């Protein structure tokens, strides 16, 4: 098949590109390299059936041409990371919504299957853990920029499902819960690569807040397997599906595991949210997915643990990534 991946030079998009090229598909990646990295997909440039276009999804004429000639669209392009969201809220909102609007418009026009990734951030201040896809959503006040990402992604979901309702566009929305693994950068505040990098250098690990907040981290290779199953399963069209891992860990324990698994002598330092992000930052205490819907619809079952994730990230940072894990 011919497959278009927006944001295909990014962390998740590049692993998705690896998988689909290995399966024999013809892949076109469009990425402006604003947060993606050429190094993530450089090894694919000489592969038959791979094409890279360095441009933005906001280029409407180009996107129409690319979508018209493809069979599947994975819209992975997005603004990423808490730090970027806090520092550039206008770019966050415009990139997310206008990009998704462009993709959905042309997928609808040419009747193309499309996957729209969303985020666990849309659950906001929800306290009904684990989070179910049909839960009510509760975010913070609009003057708290931290919620701009969640609200923009929520609007993406509404728009995608509206296309399904009005024209039966074959679209599926997946809410990703803290996808991590090799190639992820700590540049935008991503906690796992930031902790592992500090541990490998025996530098102080900075925990934001008191560290009691918890998250569930899904290995990128488990997640991309789920993404490809979702878009190929008609029963998923017009639905929202959680993807990730339900293994919950506090940020304190995550820091300790990064230290233990790397044999580090790092110490842990605590910084208030105001020190890191400025006044008014709000966080979620817990973020745990209910994965029963994904299991029922596509047989989704994560196979890699948090320790596997930390070890894979550490191996890559040391320059000795496991080929079996990187390209499984």
Rounded to 10 deg, the angle between the 251-262 and 191-200 helix axes is: 40
* CA pair distance 221, 226, nearest whole angstrom: 9
Task: For the chain, give the mean pLDDT.
Answer: 92
Give yes or no for residue 325 having a pLDDT over 70.
no
Q: Which residues are catalytic?
A: 149
Which parts of the chain are beta strand (E)?
Answer: 2-6, 26-30, 50-53, 72-75, 113-119, 171-176, 179-180, 205-208, 214-216, 218-219, 240-243, 248-250, 268-271
Kindly provide the b/e burial profile for residues 188-214, where b requires at least 16 CB atoms within 10 angstroms of the residue's own CB: bbbbbbbbbbbbbeeeebbbbbebebb
Average pLDDT for 178-184: 94
Look at the domain 2-184+217-247+285-304 and name its fold. Rossmann fold (3.40.50)
Give yes or no for residue 326 having a pLDDT over 70.
no
| pLDDT per residue as tens digits for the range 81-119 | 666 677 777 877 888 999 999 999 999 999 999 999 999
Cβ atoms 280, 147 nearer than 8 A: no
- Per-residue model confidence (pLDDT) at position 323: 45
pLDDT band at 143 (very low <50, low <70, confident <90, very high): confident
Cβ atoms 114, 171 nearer than 8 A: yes
Higher pLDDT, 21 or 146: 21
- Per-residue model confidence (pLDDT) at position 327: 44
Which parts of 267-326 are beta strand (E)?
Answer: 268-271
Give yes or no for residue 280 having a pLDDT over 90.
no
- Per-residue model confidence (pLDDT) at position 284: 82
Cβ atoms 102, 35 nearer than 8 A: no
Average pLDDT for 159-186: 95
Among 129-138, 166-175, 235-244, 277-286, which stretch is predicted with the lowest mean pLDDT?
277-286
pLDDT band at 32 (very low <50, low <70, confident <90, very high): very high
Average pLDDT for 212-235: 97
> Domains of the chain: which residue ranges?
2-184+217-247+285-304
Percent of the chain scoring above 90 in pLDDT: 79
Rounded to 10 deg, the angle between the 60-68 and 89-110 helix axes is: 40
pLDDT band at 250 (very low <50, low <70, confident <90, very high): very high
Give yes or no for residue 328 having a pLDDT over 50.
no
Give yes or no for residue 187 having a pLDDT over 70.
no
| 231, burial (CB in 10 Å: exposed 0-12, middle 13-18, buried 19+) | buried
Average pLDDT for 256-267: 97
pLDDT band at 159 (very low <50, low <70, confident <90, very high): very high
Average pLDDT for 317-327: 62
Higher pLDDT, 35 or 312: 312
Average pLDDT for 57-67: 97
Neighbours of 126 (CB within 10 A): 18
């Amino acid at each position: 098949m011919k497959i278009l991946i927006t944001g295909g030079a990014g962390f998740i998009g590049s692993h998705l590109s690896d998988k689909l090229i290995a399966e024999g598909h013809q892949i076109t990646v469009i990425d402006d390299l604003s947060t993606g990295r050429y190094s993530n997909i450089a090894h694919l440039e000489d592969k038959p059936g791979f094409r890279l276009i360095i441009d933005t999804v906001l280029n409407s004429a180009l996107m129409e041409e690319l979508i018209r000639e493809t069979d599947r669209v994975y819209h992975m392009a997005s603004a990423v990371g808490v730090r970027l969201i806090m520092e550039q809220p206008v770019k966050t909102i415009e990139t997310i919504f206008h990009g998704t609007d462009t993709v959905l418009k042309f997928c609808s026009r040419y009747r193309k299957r499309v996957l729209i990734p969303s985020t666990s951030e849309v659950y906001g201040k929800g306290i009904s853990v684990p989070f179910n896809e049909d839960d009510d959503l509760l975010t913070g006040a609009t003057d708290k920029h931290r919620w701009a990402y969640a609200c923009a992604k929520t609007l993406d979901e509404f728009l995608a499902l509206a296309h399904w309702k009005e024209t039966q566009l074959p679209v599926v929305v997946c809410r990703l819960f803290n996808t991590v693994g090799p190639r992820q950068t700590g540049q935008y505040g991503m906690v796992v690569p930031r902790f592992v990098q500090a541990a490998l250098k025996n530098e102080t690990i900075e925990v934001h807040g008191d560290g009691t907040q918890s998250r569930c981290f899904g290995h990128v290779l488990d997640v991309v397997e789920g993404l490809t199953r979702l878009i190929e399963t008609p029963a998923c069209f017009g639905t929202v599906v959680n993807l990730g891992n339900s293994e919950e860990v506090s940020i304190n324990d995550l820091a300790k595991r990064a230290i233990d698994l790397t044999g580090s002598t790092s110490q842990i330092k605590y910084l208030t949210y105001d020190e890191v992000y400025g006044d008014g930052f709000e966080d979620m205490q817990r973020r745990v997915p209910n994965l029963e819907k994904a299991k029922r619809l596509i047989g989704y079952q994560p196979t890699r643990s948090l320790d596997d994730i930390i070890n894979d990230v550490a191996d890559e940072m040391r320059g000795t990534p496991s080929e079996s894990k990187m390209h499984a």
